[in-house]
Amino acid sequence: MNAGANQFDLFAAPAPETLENKRALLVEVHTRLCGAYGCPVAHWAELDPLSELVSALLSHRTRNKESGAAFEALRRRFSTWEAVRDAPTGEVREAIKTCNWPEQKAPRIQTILRAITRRRGGELSLDFLAELPSRAARDWLEQMPGVGPKTSAAVLSFSRLRMRALPVDSHHHRVAQRLGLIPPTLEVGPAHAALEALLPAEWDAQKVYDDHELLMFHGQRCCFFRQPECARCVLLDLCPTGQERTRTAVAASRAD
């Protein structure tokens, strides 16, 4: 990060009220974060879409380390997703005990696996989603209980389908709110549609994936939930929240 790039006396106060202004802001943010973290961002997994769905369901309200351990334990204990679907729920719950709320996630995963089997005429696979437009594929997934916009986008974007879809996690959401890309009161679920509407039409699946990863990285490494490190942020001159925090800090230091 370039700590000296943004100076208090050079602040502008951007107010991206129109769709065009917000899209221009998003593109500038993307460009700067690419410079900070590197683009394109490598995909970190090569899961088939059904496996990615199970992984995403396990990750709800759970740290990656714990949900990853639960996913691997599930795969070691059961040879196929059909075996998970048909197993006693208690065995599935035991296998995923490292994630939060295994007592809720075990029956939900089995319910979804059964729903896929039923809707696909006996086939337990999501590979067919590759044949659908992204929006149609997400609509198909979101008809199942417990599958919302974040999960459907993760299945399409993170799996080996590599389709154009924008997941929004808590870090991404926080950074977008602070930048003014979305309203401060907009929750994560509806934020998906709002942020997707800002994506340039010419961006391909890789660039959309990069956008999610970059904002997530920034939330993890600089724009923390508590005590964001605004002074070293490459986005400070674009960020009304960071500017306000910096003004407050400067005023407090002068008062001392």
Q: Report residue 252: phi and psi, to 5°.
A: -65, -40
Look-up: residue for tokens 């380390």?
A: 65
* Per-residue confidence in pLDDT tens, the chain, 256 aa: 443 343 333 344 445 578 999 999 999 999 999 999 999 999 988 899 999 999 999 998 888 889 999 999 999 999 999 999 999 999 999 999 999 999 999 999 999 999 999 999 999 999 999 999 999 999 999 999 989 999 999 999 999 999 999 999 999 999 999 999 999 999 999 999 999 999 999 999 999 999 999 999 999 999 999 999 999 999 999 999 999 998 887 777 676 6
Q: At what angle do helices 149-158 and 49-59 cross, to 10 degrees?
A: 140
Q: At what angle do helices 170-179 and 240-255 cross, to 10 degrees?
A: 70
> Would you say 222 and 233 are in contact if contact means Cβ atoms under 8 Å apart?
yes
> Would you say 45 and 93 are in contact if contact means Cβ atoms under 8 Å apart?
no
> Would you say 116 and 126 are in contact if contact means Cβ atoms under 8 Å apart?
yes
Whole-number pLDDT of residue 236: 97
CA 155 to chain centre: 11
> Would you say 142 and 134 are in contact if contact means Cβ atoms under 8 Å apart?
no
Whole-number pLDDT of residue 251: 75
Spatial neighbors of 84 by CB under 8 A, at least 6 apart, are 54, 74, 78, 92, 109, 110, 113
Whole-number pLDDT of residue 181: 97
Tokens of 53: 């769905």
b/e per residue 243-254 (b: at least 16 CB within 10 A): bebbeeeeeeee
| Domains identified in the chain and CATH numbers | 8-41+167-255 (1.10.1670.10), 49-158 (1.10.340.30)
> Would you say 192 and 165 are in contact if contact means Cβ atoms under 8 Å apart?
no
Whole-number pLDDT of residue 5: 40
Whole-number pLDDT of residue 45: 82
Tokens of 197: 């509407």
Q: Residue 25: count other Cβ atoms within 10 Å of its Cβ.
A: 19
Task: Kindly give the residue spans of alpha helices, DSSP state H, lying in the chain.
Answer: 19-37, 49-59, 64-77, 81-86, 89-95, 102-119, 134-142, 149-158, 170-179, 188-196, 205-221, 240-255
Q: Tell me the pTM.
A: 0.87
At residue 137, what is the residue type?
Answer: A
> Rounded distance, CA 243 to CA 236, Å?
6
Whole-number pLDDT of residue 60: 86
3-class secondary structure per residue, 71-94? HHHHHHHCCCHHHHHHCCHHHHHH
